[in-house]
Amino acid sequence: MNKHLKRFLIFTAILVLIIALLVCYVLFVVIKQPTKIQDITQAPLNQWNRIELDDTVVSSDGSDYYLLTKKGSSNNVMIYFSGGGANWDEKTADSPITIFNMMQGKYNYFSRIPYYKLATMGGILKDDNPDNPFNDWTIIYVPYTTGDFHIGDNLIEYRDDLSVIHNGKKNVQAALAWTYQNIQNPDKLLIAGESAGGFATAFWTPEISDHYPQTPTYAYIDSSNITTERWPTIIDQTWNADFENTFGYKPQADLIASALEYNLRNYPSITFLQSSTMYDVLLMSFESQLNQTVIDDTSKQAWSSAMKKTLQDLGKYDNYYSFITNEGKTGIQDTTHTISPANSFYTFKANGIPFVEWLSDAVINDAPQSLSD
């Protein structure tokens, strides 16, 4: 063998080995993985754990689905519904969030729980930040991998190499069954969620509240405003949610408003909280896809005006409060998506008041108020 070629092959082999070792180091050391446990009594304080559920749960691509929990030192409990997009037809179903798809501009939903999940859970979910007023709460984190706002019950085969399992309803029901068995009488209960998880928060809060009738309960919806006349068809035909029989009311074009109107009328003892950035670029993108419209300055202003009207109209109820901020600008009429699971939980303000203060005042101090830039 040529001497130079031999050196090149040795060098290449060493380089590949180094890269492999670095990948293993990142996967198994840098990126935290949850510890597997079966019940809350096995959980150490302030450590994320993986809970295996029953055989009814599954992710959209057929991979494993599980619950994440973190035991806090107080008797307060947060149930947090994860966001992560949606799919409703062949095109969107063919765009799960992967590194390869994101390089191609295709990223509609999570079809599995990513191995780096814990690394994405900041903001209100971060327990090692002394500025987090919820860092001593027990957290039940409901991952989202089904593209159906946590409510679907359907298997769709679009073609031989593309099928989608909308199993959101059964995943949530199994997660709640574990929660009810392991969480008995919390002092306070916060049901929260971002994006698709915000819709799920609005949908599932009544059932959860009914299970804990003596517990002061708060529901917080983060960045969940998408309006389309297609919702009733998508929800009951594509996702097969059996929505009215499951939740007690019909879904409307302004989906979050229809859910909150029902909740606010029927659950006056629950404090409902909602937040949005002024020009949420991701929500506008999803609404544009659903309505097959172009995103321009006019449509951006229309989305923002409709969002503000929805939140302001809900303010007629004594148990509803909102937070609208113009922070997080990425353009003249573009703002970032979601507040609670990111560093913006600590930095964003409305009317000069930090979001973290607004939420903690409402939930911990029972002093809610509405704020808007």
* Cβ-based neighbour number of residue 8 at 10 Å: 11
Tell me what pLDDT residue 17 has: 52
Residue 35 vs residue 183, higher pLDDT: 183
Q: Over the stretch 11-21, which tens digit does the pLDDT of each residue have?
A: 555 655 555 44
Q: Is residue 19 part of a domain?
A: no
Q: Looking at 39-53, 255-269, 271-285, which range is the least confident one?
A: 39-53
Tell me what pLDDT residue 27 has: 45
Distance of CA 340 to the CA centre of its chain: 10
State residue 191 phi and psi, 5-degree precision: -105, 120
> Do 94 and 155 touch, CB atoms closer than 8 A?
no
Categorize the per-residue pLDDT at 40 as very low, low, confident or very high, splitting at 50, 70 and 90.
confident
CA distance linking residue 36 with residue 67, whole number of Å: 10
pLDDT of 25 above 90 = no
pLDDT of 29 above 50 = no
Tell me what pLDDT residue 324 has: 98
What 3-state class would DSSP assign to 349?
strand
Beta carbons within 8 Å of 131's beta carbon, 6+ residues apart: 346, 356
Q: Looking at 25-29, 57-61, 103-107, which range is the least confident one?
A: 25-29
Q: Over the stretch 71-80, which tens digit does the pLDDT of each residue have?
A: 999 999 999 9
Question: The domain spanning residue 212 has which CATH number?
Answer: 3.40.50.1820
Q: Over the stretch 82-135, which tens digit does the pLDDT of each residue have?
A: 999 999 999 999 999 887 776 767 779 999 999 999 999 999 999 788 899 999
Categorize the per-residue pLDDT at 357 as very low, low, confident or very high, splitting at 50, 70 and 90.
very high
Domain count, the chain: 1
Closest among 117, 102, 103 to 32, alpha carbons compared: 117
CA distance linking residue 334 with residue 277, whole number of Å: 9
Residue 351 identity? N
Tell me what pLDDT residue 19 has: 53
Structure tokens at 1: 């063998």
Segments of 71-208 assigned E as strands? 77-81, 138-142, 154-159, 162-166, 189-194
pLDDT of 8 above 70 = no
Q: Looking at 14-23, 31-40, 258-267, 360-369, which range is the least confident one?
A: 14-23
Task: Name the burial class of residue 242, with classes exposed (0-12), middle (13-18) and buried (19+) by CB atoms within 10 angstroms of its CB.
Answer: middle
Q: Over the stretch 180-226, which tens digit does the pLDDT of each residue have?
A: 999 999 999 999 999 999 999 999 999 999 999 999 999 999 999 99
Tell me what pLDDT residue 179 has: 98
State residue 195 phi and psi, 5-degree precision: 60, -120
pLDDT of 355 above 80 = yes
Structural domain boundaries enclosing 283? 31-372
The pTM of the full predicted model, rounded to 2 decimals, is 0.91
Beta carbons within 8 Å of 343's beta carbon, 6+ residues apart: 122, 123
Residue 86 identity? A
* Share above pLDDT 90 across residues of the chain, in percent, rounded to a whole number: 82
Q: What is the DSSP letter of 43?
A: P
Categorize the per-residue pLDDT at 28 as very low, low, confident or very high, splitting at 50, 70 and 90.
very low
Tell me what pLDDT residue 158 has: 97
Q: Looking at 24-38, 192-206, 300-314, 357-371, which range is the least confident one?
A: 24-38
Q: Looking at 12-21, 41-50, 255-264, 299-308, which range is the least confident one?
A: 12-21
CA distance linking residue 356 with residue 373, whole number of Å: 16
pLDDT of 372 above 60 = yes
CA distance linking residue 81 with residue 193, whole number of Å: 4
Closest among 315, 303, 316 to 370, alpha carbons compared: 315
State residue 259 phi and psi, 5-degree precision: -70, -45
Tell me what pLDDT residue 98 has: 82
Q: Is residue 59 part of a domain?
A: yes
> Do 295 and 288 touch, CB atoms closer than 8 A?
yes
* Cβ-based neighbour number of residue 141 at 10 Å: 25
Q: Over the stretch 225-264, which tens digit does the pLDDT of each residue have?
A: 999 999 999 999 999 999 999 999 999 999 999 999 999 9
Structure tokens at 236: 């009951």
Distance of CA 349 to the CA centre of its chain: 21
CA distance linking residue 121 with residue 321, whole number of Å: 25
Structure tokens at 315: 């303010």
Distance of CA 334 to the CA centre of its chain: 21
Q: Looking at 6-10, 253-257, 260-264, 288-292, which range is the least confident one?
A: 6-10
Q: Is residue 368 part of a domain?
A: yes
Residue 224 identity? S
Mean pLDDT of the chain: 92
> Do 48 and 68 touch, CB atoms closer than 8 A?
yes
Tell me what pLDDT residue 188 has: 99
CA distance linking residue 19 with residue 240, whole number of Å: 45
